Amino acid sequence: MEKKRAALYRSLLIIFALVALCLLLSFATNNNYYRLMLAVIPIWAVLGISWNVFSGYSGLISFGHAAFFGVGAYTVTLGLVNFGLTPWIGVPLGAIVGALTAGLIGIPTFRLRGVYFALAMLAYPLSMVYVFDWLGLQEITLPMMRENGPAYMQFTDNRWYQVVSLSLFIVAILTCLFIERSRFGRSLLAIKQNELAAEACGVDTFKWKLYAILISGAMAGAAGGLFAVIQLVVTPASVFGLVISAQAMILTLFGGAGIIWGPVIGAAVLLPLSETLHAELGHLVPGITGMVYGAAIILVMVLAPEGIYWRINDLLKRRKVSETGDAPAPVAVSSRAPAMHETRRARSGEVLLGVDNISKFYGGLGAVKEVGFEIHTGEIVGVIGPNGAGKTTLFNILNGLIQPSSGRVVFNGIDITSLKPNRRCAAGIGRTFQVVRSFPRMTVEENVLIGAYVRAENEGDAWRRAAEALGTVGLTGRAHALAGSISTKELRLMELARALAGDPRLLLLDEPLAGLGADEASELTDILKRLASGGLTIAIIEHTMQAMVDLADRMIVLDHGVLLTEGAPEQVTRDPHVIEAYLGRKWAAKHA
């Protein structure tokens, strides 16, 4: 915790130093042009931050931030021109209008993913250019207030503009800092790295995306409003144009997406570079700016694909490691398991999960057909069946990733059939995946933290729960390793810890032993047994029959989407239907 506080202070110090440097620079020069630049750069940085808050963290690429920027600019301009509204009110109003626009655009567009989302976002500002043209708002100028200029945010000294834009910058970057260090930011990063996993471990992906785009829209709107105040001329192309959206994206990607400093680095490097090029070479070779600017961006993207910040970060980390001489060696998973309860757990008789006649059809293909069973509190249920039997589909229906074509799922007495995965997680269903879905750019501890938020009362409680879950699976020693750098077994354990951190009542494990060696597998089974003895209800999909017989109290057998049989392991493994499903009719006949 102390380390985190130190990091916070360091960030605040850097922000303070940046702002001070900016002010110092503009007092050191008496060139009004440099002062104008020093006033404009923070605005673009805010636009970059705005893009970063949404796209950088959530990974949903927006080509359309000009939409929010533009409505902000027009709010300020039209407010002043038509109603004499001072930009001191206009800019905050622009932020509100920007947020509203973002909400209106975001809600329908979140249904789309990947490229489709990006393309849809591109369309909004482009269509706005035409709408504003059509409205006859092609060229609007902010009237000059010769008397009482400061009351209308009009100054003769560009340094005042700088003070205003730096203030906006401070608000934006502190907001960003707060987001980055909170559940909000981590949830967004989780969405970016694996939206499905995030949803499954309790992150309300829609809610966080909506919050992010609202804040992002507000920032872009305010930046657009201030841009109008400084530039004094607003045209649809200059505020809704592709260049604006591109600017927001380029500054951030250049500096590094998903980190608070990315857009700041981008704005501080690229804007002075482009202006200097334009000033020094522009009159010799008109248009050279664009060429060199483009080349610089390509160069950086080739040399540092994730942006300058991440590249430097990686380099520094590597050096630190080689300096201290000890690369973090994988720590063995502690196997301090308590004594095994060899006795079979007694069924409490209480039904935790009721699956009522579930079917799922893809066209004419029935992946799951009229399956019904119950899971009782405290038992370990094995779900077995040959490949393609519908086991994973069943799990996906149970935790809400897939909506069944018909039937009901009742959990703890409540019908949860229509609930989204994150609501089911909150209700007490945790799960792991057949192929581990981690958040590779986060540490092991942070991965587990994401799963803990759903139950945690506050940030501290979440960290405590995460640490506890890591202790349960024996990964405490690897807490600070990046999830992208750990072994398969550790990944499995981490995913298990992430599910456990949410304090589930029912744990769905999809082939938790896949890819593990015999020793590793038995280590994991020990942990599962211990968990079950602590009262946790577990459903496992597994191919390894031996492990299942050892672990499960009861087995459910699926074949071709149909429930073949259920019962105690000994009984099920002798069932000729099961043998037939696994090994063929001949084998079944021989051993009948």
Interface residue list for another protein (CB under 8 A) = 31-34, 36-37, 40, 130, 133-134, 136, 138-139, 141, 143-144, 146, 156, 158, 227, 231-235, 237-238, 241, 243, 275-284, 286-287, 289-290, 292, 299, 303
The answer to whether the CB of 453 falls within 8 A of the CB of 183 is: yes
Residue 169: strand pairing partners: none
CB of 116 to another protein, least distance (A): 24
CB of 87 to another protein, least distance (A): 15
- For residue 457, report the phi and psi dihedrals to the nearest 5 degrees: -80, -35
> Is the CB of 161 or the CB of 261 nearer to another protein?
161
Q: b vs e for 310-329, b when ≥16 Cβ sit within 10 Å of the residue's Cβ? A: beeeeeeeeeeeeeeeeeee
CB of 38 to another protein, least distance (A): 12
CB of 491 to another protein, least distance (A): 35
Q: Taking Cα atoms as reference points, which of 20, 36, 439, 460 lies closest to residue 232?
A: 36
CB of 84 to another protein, least distance (A): 15
CB of 133 to another protein, least distance (A): 6
Residue 486 is given by DSSP the state S
Categorise residue 407: left if φ over 0, alpha if ψ from -120 to 50, beta otherwise.
left
Which two tokens mark 80?
A: 């002043």
Query: In terms of DSSP bridges, do strands 537-541 and 506-510 run parallel, antiparallel, or are they unpaired?
Result: parallel
CB of 278 to another protein, least distance (A): 7
CB of 334 to another protein, least distance (A): 44
CB of 239 to another protein, least distance (A): 9
> Is the CB of 152 or the CB of 395 nearer to another protein?
152
> Is the CB of 142 or the CB of 213 nearer to another protein?
142
How far CA 472 is from CA of 155, 334, 477, in Å, comes to 62, 10, 12
> Is the CB of 276 or the CB of 434 nearer to another protein?
276
Q: b vs e for 229-254, b when ≥16 Cβ sit within 10 Å of the residue's Cβ? A: bbbeebbbebbbbeebbebbbbbbbb
Query: In terms of DSSP bridges, do strands 380-384 and 537-541 run parallel, antiparallel, or are they unpaired?
Result: parallel
CB of 228 to another protein, least distance (A): 10
Q: Is 430 helix (H, G, I), strand (E, B) or coil?
A: strand
> Is the CB of 236 or the CB of 256 nearer to another protein?
236
> Is the CB of 284 or the CB of 332 nearer to another protein?
284
> Is the CB of 280 or the CB of 519 nearer to another protein?
280
> Is the CB of 71 or the CB of 467 nearer to another protein?
71
**Number of Cβ within a 10 Å radius of residue 14:** 14
CB of 173 to another protein, least distance (A): 23
> Is the CB of 43 or the CB of 190 nearer to another protein?
43
Which two tokens mark 581?
A: 């499903």
- CA-CA distance, 326 to 310, in Å (whole number)? 22
> Is the CB of 278 or the CB of 464 nearer to another protein?
278
- CA-CA distance, 191 to 428, in Å (whole number)? 20
Q: Please return the burial class of 363, using the count of CB atoms within 10 Å of its CB with bins 0-12, 13-18 and 19+.
A: exposed
- CA-CA distance, 211 to 143, in Å (whole number)? 35
The answer to whether the CB of 437 falls within 8 A of the CB of 446 is: no
Query: In terms of DSSP bridges, do strands 351-362 and 365-376 run parallel, antiparallel, or are they unpaired?
Result: antiparallel
Residue 452 is given by DSSP the state H
> Is the CB of 122 or the CB of 176 nearer to another protein?
122
CB of 248 to another protein, least distance (A): 14
> Is the CB of 47 or the CB of 547 nearer to another protein?
47
Residue 537 belongs to what H/E stretch? Answer: strand 537-541
Residue 482 is given by DSSP the state B
> Is the CB of 251 or the CB of 368 nearer to another protein?
251
- CA-CA distance, 190 to 451, in Å (whole number)? 10
CB of 52 to another protein, least distance (A): 22
**Number of Cβ within a 10 Å radius of residue 501:** 30
Q: Taking Cα atoms as reference points, which of 130, 132, 123 lies closest to residue 228?
A: 132
- CA-CA distance, 400 to 547, in Å (whole number)? 27
